[in-house]
Amino acid sequence: MHTLCTDTTRLYRLQGPAVGGLLVERFIGHEALNQPYEWRVQVLATDAGLALQPWLDTRVDLLTVGADGRLSRVSGLIAQARALASDGGFARYELLMVPWLWRLRLGGRQRAWQGKSIRQILDGVFTAYQPRAAWRWASGVDEHLEALGHPAYLSQGRESDLDFVQRLLARAGLGLRFEEVDGDDDPTGLGHRAVLFAHSPDDAACPQHPDSERFGAIRYHRAVVFGQRGQEARDTVQTCTVQARHGASRTTTLAWHPSAKRAVAAQVSSPQGQAGAAPAEDYDPAVAADTPDTTSAAARARLLREAAEGLALRHSGRATVRGTRAGQWWRLAELP
């Protein structure tokens, strides 16, 4: 193959047992917390008659060359492959790259658990997909779940395994992201694993972006600096928007326990209220099984308050920061 048709000098590369000799033309990906990512990658090949069936369910890595020459990786399994077109010189193919968690949308069961913790239930769901499943629990999850209390009874019915897992994560206030792994941390050979966490500010749960950690921050790009158009040596943020809205400043939960003939209540206030704003309150009529004591009631109220605060203050923007993954954080410097 001609040197122009190799990926040795290209910004994006594919690696995997089934994708040798394919060149990345374009790709689009979507990744968010608590759901499997999807990357659609269009590739070029010199053969318009490649067999697609052997590609399915094989590992593929999408490598990106950073501004400093370092490689970042997104690994996954090929869930779909199709031929697009051929112009006589090159043939185009499209691959759908997904993590192992994507398979959970294909499986559904009707079952129930009694006297099991959220962690035990999720471990049981994931274990059914081994050996093509890999996950770990971040520190602090057990303490978080213990404060919430264990559910007395949980059932799954008329929903996929993925929908059930996402429902449990939302119920328990847990997050799920993916990380790249190698060597002893990758016994399944998938190249990635899910991380379940409870406290996102903990670096062990959600790490800092490598560029932000290496250089201290990610710069906000200014198109004109001292009258001259600036050129960046590193990846930057181009736009940054903050949207804030006023809402309730505290959350109250209240549940009546008929067997104990008593009410269990808790109230949590926002640590950063708006000055001069009239106090407002969110009221949650909790189910007795969800708040068996004051500790679990306080934990539930805290989760509801954090969810409200997350909706009240939103950040969005555009950036050229390569290697960014859902669940990472970075410091943003030199905002105007």
| Segment 187-191 mean pLDDT | 94
For the cut 50, the answer to whether the pLDDT of residue 276 exceeds it is no
Q: Domain 3-98 class?
A: mainly beta
All structural domains of the chain with their residue ranges: 3-98, 103-197, 244-314
For the cut 50, the answer to whether the pLDDT of residue 1 exceeds it is no
pLDDT bucket at 275, cuts 50 / 70 / 90: very low
Q: Give yes or no on whether 3-98 and 103-197 have one common fold.
A: no
Q: Which of 194, 322, 318, 304 is nearest to 249 (CA)?
A: 304
Which of 99-103, 222-226, 256-260, 314-318 has the least mean pLDDT?
222-226
Helix or strand holding residue 318 (H, E): strand 313-319
163: which 2 tokens? Answer: 């929908």
For the cut 90, the answer to whether the pLDDT of residue 197 exceeds it is yes
Gap between the Cα atoms of 123 and 101, Å rounded: 13
Task: Write phi, then psi, for 168 (nearest 5 degrees).
Answer: -70, -40
Distance from the first to the final alpha carbon of the chain: 49
For the cut 90, the answer to whether the pLDDT of residue 178 exceeds it is yes
Task: Write phi, then psi, for 64 (nearest 5 degrees).
Answer: -125, 130
| Segment 306-321 mean pLDDT | 88
Q: What is the pLDDT of residue 248?
A: 82
Q: Which residues pair with 136 in a beta bridge?
A: 195
Q: What is the pLDDT of residue 324?
A: 92
Task: Write phi, then psi, for 209 (nearest 5 degrees).
Answer: -60, 140
| Segment 136-153 mean pLDDT | 90
Highest mean pLDDT among 62-71, 133-142, 256-265: 133-142
For the cut 80, the answer to whether the pLDDT of residue 231 exceeds it is no
3-class secondary structure, 4: helix
Cis peptide bond N-terminal to 285, omega within 30: no
Whether 205 contacts 140, CB under 8 Å = yes
Q: Which residues pair with 252 in a beta bridge?
A: 267, 283
For the cut 80, the answer to whether the pLDDT of residue 8 exceeds it is no
Whether 115 contacts 149, CB under 8 Å = no
Kindly list the distances between the CA atom of residue 221 and the CA atoms of 11, 198, 272, 295, 325, in Å, as whole numbers in the listed order: 21, 33, 30, 46, 20
Kindly list the distances between the CA atom of residue 217 and the CA atoms of 108, 208, 221, 233, in Å, as whole numbers in the listed order: 44, 10, 12, 14
What confidence tens digit (pLDDT) does each residue in 22-63 have? Answer: 999 999 999 999 999 999 999 999 888 899 999 999 999 999
What confidence tens digit (pLDDT) does each residue in 234-271 have? Answer: 888 989 998 888 878 888 888 877 777 788 888 888 87
For the cut 50, the answer to whether the pLDDT of residue 68 exceeds it is yes
pLDDT bucket at 223, cuts 50 / 70 / 90: low
Residue with more model confidence, 332 or 8: 332
297: which 2 tokens? Answer: 């009631």
Q: What is the DSSP letter of 306?
A: H
For the cut 50, the answer to whether the pLDDT of residue 12 exceeds it is yes
Gap between the Cα atoms of 137 and 301, Å rounded: 23
What is the CATH code of the structural domain delimited by 103-197?
Answer: 3.55.50.10
